[in-house]
Structure 1
Amino acid sequence: MASHKELAKQVVDKIGGAQNVDQAWHCVTRLRFNLNDKDKVEIEDIKKLNGVMGAQFSGDQFQVIIGNQVSDVFAEVEPLVGGSGSSEGKNSGEKQGVLSLVMDFISGIFTPILPALAGAGLLKGFNALFLTVGWLTEESPTYMVLNAIGDSVFYFLPFFLAVSTARKMRTNEYLALIVAGTLMYPTFAEALAGEQTSIDFLGWGFINIPLIDYNTSVIPIILSVILLKYVYDLVKKVIPSAIQLMFAPMITFLIVLPLSLWLIGPLGTTIGNFVSDIFNWLFDFSGLFAGLLLAGLMPLIIMTGMHYAFAPIAITSIAALGYDNMVMPMMFISNAAQAGAALGVAVVTRNAQMKQLGLSSGISAAIGITEPAMYGVNMKLKKPFVLAMISAGLIGAFAGWYGLKAYTMSGIVGVFALPVFADPTGESASFLVATILFILAIVLPFILVLIFRFKDVEDDTIHAKEETTKPETKQAEVGKETMVQSPLKGHIVPLSEVSDPTFAQEIMGKGIAIEPEENRVVAPVTGSIMVFPDSQHAIGIKGDNGEEILIHIGIDTVSLKGEHFNGLINEGDRVEVGQTLVEFDRDAIRAKDIPTVTMILVTNTADYLDVLPMNNSGEIFEGEHLLTLVK
């Protein structure tokens, strides 16, 4: 199998290169891309790559199914594409459909917080299980501590969603946290506890802000951060740059936060409760039919990536009702059925590789990661996939009729998610039923596969795939990538927008520019100072990996002849990454009508295949990954 680095390079090449990537992230098993031109994707070649289980478009989002190693592969993909493109991508000139936009948006928000949801949800489930079996009581200090840990991510969910939504919208995360903090502010909660229902903002009598408990809420914070992004961008266009730092956030807060408390938050709460009520009504009205459809069709939903759209529904349901009787139970049963079918294949097949894959992927599916079993075994053989869906539908129908409930969330829905079905009140029936149904969901498709069999795979099918990918793997071998950190805190500016044509046309090399928000520059790499003129406005560094970095503070700052600059290094000095190089007074420089935008250039760009900025816009902090140099 190709190394993670080789596979990452192959995938990026076959999706049209880094310049074709608008955004990239991953979930539990898939690489996910927003692309500027989907026609450049060589999808059939990607499917043949050794280490890839499948590839598909879900709306305008391109997904590459990797399996359990996805985080390792993404770690190699990120330096190649991270920040390439921008949110302005046009997707082949085609307008994205509303459904595609919504699915992509929801996926981008909830995928990053899955580890927090998974860890806290599982701990919360185990705590309820310990209460059920009598190992703990609600009054015990151990229960209270574990409950606080498990409950934290759900109670303070608006903070987590504020960060992930801000990243998806490419706006300031810390401003988004202020929005979440305001919605969750204790004074409002205390007023609500005192049976006060609203407060009169400004005393005008018509801006009555409803007092709502926003803990565990989903839609209010998402809508509020969307509003924040557009208001903040508009305010920054109006406010002069010299006073942007202070006044742009303040004015944004004065617009966004009252509107969020008065209109956006209540509207989001109403929408969330309405959607949750519809699905819960469906299960109450005909749980048997709803369970049959949802559990049976869950693999198809997972294939399209639409299962992330159910996350806000499940969370809202748990917040409003104390349980989820739709998403978690049906996914739990569906995943177990895929595991049972794959294990059945492992017993029946005479193909040594398929037998090993069936066993390993079956165990993985039982844990809750189903793509290896779905794509690598069941779908490839077709009949096991159908038998798994039929089994899941039948057992899901019973679960819907019975009213099986999950009392918290779990990021990975498998055998280790069983504790989330433990009733927090200590009642044991829910946990026992969930355990029995999980076992049945594995056993039924396992038996059906043994009875109905399938057309087996010849050994040379797998060998042929390995052989076809070997030459490509060798051909894709590349040298190392070098990371350049940000030498200062500020706002990213593409070189093309810099007023000096020498920099804008990349005559001195590729790179990025930053409008500074602090008065110092630090070393972006470890190496030696090669250039440091008396004017102290520019620093040339030769890095240990051969990279030649020029940091040019401001435009025409050489005319200052060192005034407002304080150099802390000399030519020939050895410097470590993060070491302070120069201090400067940006306000004094701006007062002389001299731009302070700072260019970070790779002057030996010709030595590299490409110089890739991690982002072309937004805020960046000192020491953050700024550029990737690809050999």
Structure 2
Amino acid sequence: MAKKGNYDELAKKIIALVGGEANIANVTHCITRLRFNLKDESKADTEAIRSTPGVVGVTSANGQYQVIIGAEVTQVYEKVAAQLHNLEGGSAAPAKQEGSFVSRLIDTITGIFTPILPPLTAAGMLKAVLAILVAFKLVDSASSTYQVINFMADATFYFLPILLANSAAKKLGCNPYLAMMLGGILIHPNFVSMVTASKETGDAITVFGLPIYNATYSSSVIPILLGVLLMSKVEPLANKFAPKAVRFFTAPLITMLVVGIATLCVLGPIGYVISNILASAINGLGANDTLVPDGKGGFTVEDDYRIKYMNDHLVQVSEALHDGVDVMGYTAWGCIDLISCSTAEIKKRYGMIYVDLNSDGTGTLARWRKKSFDWYKEVIATNGESLKV
């Protein structure tokens, strides 16, 4: 573990051992790791980094060189970022990625979403705290306190396109401020008002005769990612062909006109449709469990679908054990219905114990065993012998 006063020294040493500042194309961090995109991974002295005090370990996967720090990774990252002058602001050319398409895709997605985990976590936890306050009748859902905390949490999701634009631009190698401007275009109040009016009157929204689809993009993900991807291709061309004497003015103008209109007219609608398809698929996960009388004066949930899923999964775990795989254990997620950390909702349920709680915080908090509870109890008691192969 790094000592508080040694964060600067540790950061300086890590930068030097990964090949120096010139070898670093990008760096982000997650909960425990510094995640580097190195231009030449062979220049990194992995063994020296592993033996450095304050470093827990080193691994490389999906195009990322990961230095494991532990709980103090945020403090170390801040010192690393402060010493990397070539990554400060503006646009930087992305590192040439190697490996399969899948590994490069995973690296890109990780690089875009990892930086926005703190605000997403904060928003989810604010929602969760608010639900608990309402459940224990400490805050009324009609009070101004509830409304203030609620919109504080909603801010992350409403302005999500702007947050994603910033991290996507840094990952894809274009100007993050122009990208955030594009995110602002998608959720601008005037545009939202125009869409609402268009839906009511039937009058189409157009720009230079090109139709704009009636969609709103707050809380959306794919539209802004498609827009920033296009920007990463258009901006270099604008900088290349704009006259040098007026490039400072004309390059951003060309970039935003082309990308802004293309996103509103083409990419945004495509992303909107894709998002709806994915949302429908994801919303099918989990289950809307319904309580039914258990014949003993209480209630239960007939969740045969959950039992089948867990049974089939554990059968595969058993086969893996027979094949010699070193399976250390299995944890069901979750044993009891949980509030979603990202949305603070409890509409979709995953546990084997039903909790009488609603997404708005109302409910008695009573617990009822689902059918899967007794099934899993038997699986444990028989060490898996009761599983149906």
TM normalised by structure 2 equals 0.72
1:134 is paired with a residue whose SS is coil
1:34 is paired with a residue whose SS is strand
Cα pair 2:121 2:342 within 8 Å, conserved: no
Question: Shift of the alpha carbon at 1:191?
Answer: 4.0
Cα pair 1:192 1:211 within 8 Å, conserved: yes
1:117 is paired with a residue whose SS is helix
> Which of residues 106, 123, 129 in structure 1 aligns to 2:126?
123
> Which of residues 221, 224, 237 in structure 2 aligns to 1:221?
224
Deviations 1:413-446 (A, max 9, x none): xxxxxxxx974323337x7779x99xx9xxx9xx
C-alpha separation between the residues in 1 aligned to 2:137 and 2:27? 46
Residue 66 of structure 2 corresponds to which residue in structure 1? Answer: 63
For 1:51, give the aligned amino acid: G
Residue 375 of structure 1 corresponds to which residue in structure 2? Answer: none
Question: Shift of the alpha carbon at 1:185?
Answer: 2.2
> Which of residues 148, 163, 166 in structure 2 aligns to 1:163?
166
C-alpha separation between the residues in 1 aligned to 2:313 and 2:204? 43
Cα pair 2:56 2:69 within 8 Å, conserved: yes
Deviations 1:216-250 (A, max 9, x none): 11111111122123212212211112222333222
Residue 342 of structure 2 corresponds to which residue in structure 1? Answer: 408
C-alpha separation between the residues in 2 aligned to 1:176 and 1:294? 43
C-alpha separation between the residues in 2 aligned to 1:14 and 1:432? 55
For 2:93, give the aligned amino acid: S
Question: Shift of the alpha carbon at 1:264?
Answer: 0.6
Deviations 1:187-239 (A, max 9, x none): 332344443467242574xx332111211111111111221232122122111
1:56 is paired with a residue whose SS is strand
Q: Is residue 74 from structure 1 mapped to residue 80 from structure 2 by the alignment?
A: no
Residue 199 of structure 1 corresponds to which residue in structure 2? Answer: 204
Q: Is residue 38 from structure 1 mapped to residue 41 from structure 2 by the alignment?
A: yes
Question: Shift of the alpha carbon at 1:16?
Answer: 2.8
Q: Percent same amino acid at aligned positions?
A: 33
Cα pair 1:25 1:32 within 8 Å, conserved: yes
2:234 is paired with a residue whose SS is helix
The structure with the largest alpha-carbon Rg is 1
Question: Shift of the alpha carbon at 1:125?
Answer: 1.9
Q: 1:292 to 1:29 in 2, by over 3 A?
A: farther
For 1:183, give the aligned amino acid: L
Q: Is residue 18 from structure 1 mapped to residue 24 from structure 2 by the alignment?
A: no
Q: 1:241 to 1:102 in 2, by over 3 A?
A: same
Q: 1:291 to 1:432 in 2, by over 3 A?
A: farther
For 1:386, give the aligned amino acid: M
Cα pair 1:159 1:181 within 8 Å, conserved: yes
Residue 328 of structure 2 corresponds to which residue in structure 1? Answer: 386
2:270 is paired with a residue whose SS is helix
Deviations 1:252-282 (A, max 9, x none): 2222122111111111122223233334435
C-alpha separation between the residues in 2 aligned to 1:211 and 1:261? 10
C-alpha separation between the residues in 2 aligned to 1:183 and 1:175? 13
Q: Which runs of 5+ in 1 are unaligned?
A: 298-381, 411-420, 445-631
TM normalised by structure 1 equals 0.46
Question: Shift of the alpha carbon at 1:130?
Answer: 1.8
State which drifts further: 236-245 or 216-225: 236-245
For 2:106, give the aligned amino acid: M
Question: Shift of the alpha carbon at 1:75?
Answer: 3.0
After superposition, the CA RMSD in angstroms is 3.8
Cα pair 2:127 2:150 within 8 Å, conserved: yes
Q: 1:67 to 1:237 in 2, by over 3 A?
A: same
Question: Shift of the alpha carbon at 1:173?
Answer: 2.6
Q: Is residue 427 from structure 1 mapped to residue 369 from structure 2 by the alignment?
A: no
Q: 1:89 to 1:174 in 2, by over 3 A?
A: closer
For 2:69, give the aligned amino acid: I
C-alpha separation between the residues in 1 aligned to 2:151 and 2:307? 35
1:201 is paired with a residue whose SS is strand
C-alpha separation between the residues in 1 aligned to 2:218 and 2:307? 32
Q: Is residue 87 from structure 1 mapped to residue 93 from structure 2 by the alignment?
A: yes
Cα pair 1:31 1:70 within 8 Å, conserved: yes
